[in-house]
Amino acid sequence: MRRFLDDPGACADPASAALGELIYGWGNESWSASGHYLAGCIRHALDTRGPTLECGSGLSTILLGAIARQRGERHWALEHAPEWAARVQACLHRYGLDCVAMCANPLKDYGPYSWYDAPLDSMPESFALVICDGPPGSTPGGRYGLAPVMNTRLEPGCVILLDDAGREPERAIAQRWAHELCATQETLGEARPYIRMTVGARP
């Protein structure tokens, strides 16, 4: 973590030894994002100006929080599992990452889908980058809720990084978002693919 804090850019490569050690040290390898996805998140966070949003917290929250602190930005994380939120929050506290707004609430039933109960009234008017690695696939509608719930906060140019593009439901959700957000999409990440989308102007 010290090496990451000294030079986050050095961990923006999936082959970075420090990034591999962070994944190992976090100790949740079967649920954690892959090195490819985390490296992509780091790269984009370093290139982005403005608040960032994350759906589903974990190691990525710590890393993006550290980058947000260095850049004087705020990082928002949505989490539905209280015990998981407590673990992430303890780590944020340990590293003094109080620029992270951890929003821990049970998932909300929006009718055709469930998604995070985002505190829209206190959130920024727009996000520059969205890291989407939750909620879990067993949620009704999966990760779909991002587009309808956060629609007005996703302005043209906002980048969405959707993990787990090796799974058919995630690819179908990306197709729906591409239509609803007039977004472009491309698949990155080789063996552990993820999808990068860029929101376009809506009529």
Ligand X SMILES: C[S@@+](CC[C@H](N)C(=O)[O-])C[C@H]1O[C@@H](n2cnc3c(N)ncnc32)[C@H](O)[C@@H]1O
- Residue numbers of the site for ligand X (CB under 6 A)? 28, 31-33, 56-60, 79-81, 84, 133-134, 136
In angstroms, give the least distance from the CB of 7 to ligand X: 20
In angstroms, give the least distance from the CB of 81 to ligand X: 4
Q: How far apart are the first and last CA of the chain?
A: 44
| Nearer CB in complex with ligand X: 166/200 | 166
Q: Are 143 and 170 in contact (CB under 8 A)?
A: yes
| Nearer CB in complex with ligand X: 43/202 | 43
Dist. CA 24–CA 67, nearest whole Å = 20
Q: Are 85 and 58 in contact (CB under 8 A)?
A: no
| Nearer CB in complex with ligand X: 103/183 | 103
In angstroms, give the least distance from the CB of 181 to ligand X: 21
Q: Half-sphere exposure of 93 toward its Cβ, with a 13 Å CA cutoff?
A: 6
Q: Are 139 and 117 in contact (CB under 8 A)?
A: no
In angstroms, give the least distance from the CB of 26 to ligand X: 6
Token look-up 């209280």 returns: 82
| Nearer CB in complex with ligand X: 52/60 | 60
Dist. CA 94–CA 90, nearest whole Å = 6
